[in-house]
Amino acid sequence: MCFDDDSFPPIPVISGAAVSHEDLVLEAADGNRFAAFAAQPDEPSGIGIVILPDVRGLYRFYEELALRFAERGYAAIAFDYFGRSAGVEKRSDDFEYMPHVQAVKPAEIQADVAASVAWLRDHGTSTVFTVGFCMGGRQSWLAAASGHGLAGAVGFYGRTREGADGSAGPIQRATDMECPIVALQAGDDANITAEDNAAFEEALREAGVPHEVVTYPGAPHSFFDRKQEEFADASDDAWQRVLKLITANS
């Protein structure tokens, strides 16, 4: 799990912003029904964000993140990975997520991304970005190579190399990526090395993909958390880079 139960995005709430939100159940092309949470501004901008959570799937942190995007004029939808194995109901904080992480396949996640993108486009969005964290960071970059017609893809502390099952990772799929990439990596991440990040940046450069690979020295995995006060500057910088990507490609 990347964030604690009492973690929140380190982004200021815009009090009084006119937004609406709802719990959804979407259906992917393979028939999978999965939970999602959508937040929309009352005055839409035509820009939408698909949020890909960490290994725990959809929970409050990502619902709050969707609201922060909506407060800034961007429709956002955060979705759950585990409809195929865990259903669509809300889950308790002690949810045993690892068996479900091990069961879901990359292609299945991308089918759910496609359904989330389609929902945004059906609700007035013309320009779509993905923003993911941990497992979702990796899948956000892979979404850029999966034909969703994205305008940009952001990943926070995502793995860049092949999967444990031998599936191609972002490095291997760089030549298929169709939009600008932003990677916001943790310098003190035990599982993602400086070499991993350098190899990803080199693959993107060789493929001619517009990109920004940023590593925050000393920051731990999951530094993007209001409780991580020591890394508030890194979180603020990362958030500004997300907004910059959206503005530059909309």
Distance CA 119, CA 60 (A): 21
First and final C-alpha spacing in the chain: 32
pLDDT above 90: residue 226: no
Q: DSSP assignment, residue 66?
A: H
Q: Are 236 and 10 in contact (CB under 8 A)?
A: yes
pLDDT tens digits, residue range 23-56? 999 999 999 999 999 999 999 899 999 999 999 9
Tell me the Cα Rg of the chain: 17
Taking the mean position of all CA atoms in its chain, how far away is CA 246?
A: 14
User: What b-and-e string marks burial along 45-56, b requiring 16 or more CB atoms within 10 Å of the CB?
Assistant: bebbbbbbbbeb
- The sheet carrying 75-79 orders its strands as 19-27, 33-41, 75-79, 47-52, 127-133, 152-156, 181-188, 211-220
pLDDT tens digits, residue range 91-143? 988 899 999 999 999 999 999 999 999 999 999 999 999 999 999 999 999 99
3-class secondary structure, 53? coil
Confidence of residue 1 (pLDDT cuts 50, 70, 90): low
Distance CA 111, CA 106 (A): 9
Mean pLDDT for 166-194 is 97
DSSP string covering 71-108: HTT-EEEEE-S-HHHH-SS---TT---HHHHHH--HHH
Residue 31: the pLDDT is 98
pLDDT above 70: residue 212: yes
